[in-house]
A and B are shown apart, each in its own frame.
Chain A
């Protein structure tokens, strides 16, 4: 296999990953690392650096649209980005300290958890609460557009949400993923945000979190242009394509399939991680 063939195959796989990732809402980044390490025998550190690049591309592209529609709460995003960026620095630092097997096993566990969460029915945790003093002080409360006009909401659980975001940032820097599952956990459950706001604000933050990790990986030499080029272009176009046909697709069925793929990849990674075959 020469570089032209290698690049084209990686590009096509990344296109598929970005397409399914955007249709199912799981993100294309999550399958890039197992794809590259399991099937193309790419060193896991290259794979993580490359995945972070594709995460920035897709999340920034999607965030551009969401921000304009007025769902994203920029203040919540900015405030929680303090936690995610410090977390991402820690995560990227840990990557150099941990063995390939340890990274692979942590990755698999997070992958399984994400697949599980995406199939679970998501419950709205809104409460008709009094404004929380800390949230009010930080001006985190906001409103978002609905067909019936702007709907306002109050934020709670700021310290817990902030701590979970630090964890999300660490996982992002360590594993090269957006860690959307942990972000949504923090914002839906701990802080009681409406779905539309938590999903879009999480997406808004992923770019900054991933950029922190990617900066570290770049300056350490973990980002290879020849590998990152087809992955970034593939995932980006795949996810744009996915967003285009999202309206007409049967996403429940696709989500099941994609979760199944993720499940198998995660088990394979655990096995190879434990037996030291990565």
Chain B
């Protein structure tokens, strides 16, 4: 699919974007499912409380904390990592689009795509 020479056609870009989206969702769902099973084995018999809003502890709100908890196989951290992978799927898709538009020498759309990418990254990291 990838040609070393020449521009990418819109059809080629569509195929890659489709695969990216599908792969991201499958990966994210898999990580969430594994984390979920471990979570249920551990917490299954305790009682839930979601009525009163309390913020998640800070390690489950920021990327570094989530990754640290997930890599040490903390259950809720693992689920949260899967959710971050899911949020990252459209972001990776946008980043790839910027690259693909550059390959097509469509610089107006490189700028359009970078603006969208900037807003996405700001929402996840900056806000």
| Interface residues, chain A, with chain B CB atoms under 8 Å away | 1-4, 6-7, 40-43, 45-46, 53, 56-57, 60-61, 63-65, 67-68, 70, 72, 74-75, 78-79, 81-82, 85-86, 88-89, 92, 138-139, 207-208, 210-216, 218-230, 232-233, 236
Say whether chain B's binding surface is mostly helix, strand, loop, or mixed.
Answer: helix
Q: Which residue of A lies closest to B106 (CB)?
A: A139
**Are B25 and A74 in contact (CB-based, < 8 A)?**
no
Partner of A56, one of B17, B60, B87, B108: B87
* Docked pose: A115 CA to B123 CA in angstroms: 30
* Docked pose: A45 CA to B54 CA in angstroms: 10
* Docked pose: A56 CA to B85 CA in angstroms: 11
Partner of B97, one of A78, A82, A85: A78
Chain B stretch 1-57: residues in CB contact (< 8 A) with chain A: 10-11, 13-15, 17-19, 21-22, 24-25, 28-29, 32-33, 35-36, 39-40, 43-48, 50-53, 55-57
**Are A226 and B39 in contact (CB-based, < 8 A)?**
yes
Known contacts A4-B45, A227-B50; A89/B119 CB under 8 A: yes
* Docked pose: A230 CA to B37 CA in angstroms: 10
**Are B76 and A226 in contact (CB-based, < 8 A)?**
yes
> By the criterion of a CB under 8 Å from any partner CB, how many residues of chain B are at the interface?
66
User: Which residues of the partner chain B approach A88 to less than 8 Å between Cβ atoms?
Assistant: 123
User: Which residues of the partner chain B approach A75 to less than 8 Å between Cβ atoms?
Assistant: 109
**Are A67 and B18 in contact (CB-based, < 8 A)?**
yes
Q: Is B115 part of the contact surface with A, judged by Cβ < 8 Å?
A: yes
